Structure formats: structure tokens, C-alpha cells
Amino acid sequence: MLLQPLWSFLLGHSSLLHSPFFPVVFSLTVYLIFCLPFLLLDLLSSRWSLVRRYKLHPQNSINWTTVQSCLALTLYNHLIFIFPLTVLNWYLRPVLLPQEAPPLPQMVAQVLACLLLFDFQSFIWHLLHHKVPWLYRTFHKLHHTYTSTSALTAEYSGIWETLSLGLFAAVNPLLLGCHPLTEMLFFIVNIWLSVEDHCGYDLPWATHRLIPFSLYGGARHHDLHHLKSKCNYAPYFTHWDSLAGTLYT
């Protein structure tokens, strides 16, 4: 009952949800909205020491060439590759929208399950692409162009990496039988965590500070991966790197 008003509102815009354009516009819009606050912090950090104190690399400043390069690659990947694939998926798998919203506890549990599954898949993918030199040179090296990360570098990657990780994110809700509203929330949370991982700031309200016992890595954790390259392969949680002996703090 808690989610029914929201879901009923979305059902009132079902023509938009059924559109083949919706997945690309939705993911791109959410991504850019989440990047915007960190871009503003990057602008302010050169003037305000208060902002600079939370910056992981206060000596570095983002330049507009980097911003343009990251935006161009993100738009290129979405328009040239992701959009045709979403149209194909829309044609082969029509969107089904149930009338009832999911129960809140079920939605929370399934979003967490999707994140844990995505984290495991990404850990294996990432580890392989660092351990096998050909895979790294051919597919993953582009993402490591910037050793000092910023929000827009989250999606600065080649099409193979973009499609691989996108496939994990798209398949997991299907495997778990998620409601469309749960699927949307998972996408939103997943995009936010990816942007936060690359944002370049260790803020007081960051996710890793909210989750106890160092179970979640966060921006500092992933920044160490970009600096050292041979550690911290899991995108979010720390248990897989801890088990594999690749955790670095």
C-alpha cells in the first residue's frame, strides 16, 4: 500500500514506460543528474577550502577537456550502441506493467539482492580484465585513462565494458523476478553508487560511512584501485576482495 500511489502515478504514464526510447533517456538522465552535484563541487573546490578538504586529490582540478571527452564518449555509447539494443529488446520482450505495486520489504530485499549479484559479477569481470593482459589492453585500459577520478569518469569506458556491465544490471532483475518498480529503483541505486565510486570526494554522508563494519568500499576504496590498479576489484562491497586477498585500504 505504501508504494501503490507512486506506481499508480507511473501507470498513468504507461505510454512513456512502453516507449523504446525510455530506457536510454532514463539511464542517461539519471546519470547526468547524479554527476551534476559533483561537477559543481569540482567548480567550488578551486575557491573553497571547505570543499577541498573532502577531495581525495585536492591538488588536482578537473578541466573542461576532460568533461567534454567523458560526455562525448557516454553519449556516443548510448546513442550508437545501447539505443539500438534497447529497441531490439523492446521488440522481442514487450514491457509488462502489473496493476499492483510490490510490497516495500520485498522491493528493498530484491534491490539489495540485485546489488550483491551485480557486485559479484563485476568483481569476476574486473578481476579477469586485470589479470589477463590482452583483456586489459583491449577492453579495460580506456577506463583507467584517468588515475584521478571524477564523477563523469564512471562511464568513461569502451563499448564492450559498457555493454557487459549493462547486461549484468539488466539481467539480474529478470533472474530474481523483480517488479518493474523494483527494477527502476535498482537501476537508480546502481547508477548512484557507480557515480559516487568515481566522484573523487570522501563526503561525511557517503555510503561507506553509513554502512558499518567496512562492508562497503566507496569512493576512497575505488580511488585506490585507479591509483594502484591491482587491488579493490569489486565495485561496491568489500567481501569479495577480502576473500581473494585483493583488498587494499
What confidence tens digit (pLDDT) does each residue in 161-175 have?
Answer: 999 999 999 999 999
Structural domain boundaries in the chain: 3-244
Residue type for position 77: N
Q: What angle do CA 44, 45, 49 make, to 5 degrees?
A: 115
> pLDDT, tens digit, for every residue of 76-118?
999 999 999 999 988 888 889 999 999 999 999 999 999 999 9
Cα 119 from Cα 237, distance rounded (Å): 7
Contact 246, 233 (CB under 8 A): yes
Long-range contacts of 244-249 (CB under 8 A, 24+ apart): 244/123, 244/127, 246/127, 248/224, 249/214, 249/221, 249/224
**Per-residue pLDDT at 239:** 97
pLDDT at 181: 97
Compute φ and ψ for 81, nearest 5 degrees.
Answer: -115, -50
Residue 129's pLDDT is 97
Is residue 210 classed exposed, middle or buried when 0-12, 13-18 and 19+ CB atoms within 10 A define those classes? exposed
What residues in the chain have per-residue pLDDT under 50? none
Write the DSSP symbol of residue 237: B
Tell me the DSSP string of 132-143. SHHHIIIIIGGG
Q: What is the pTM of this model?
A: 0.96
Decide if 77 contacts 159 (C-beta within 8 A). yes
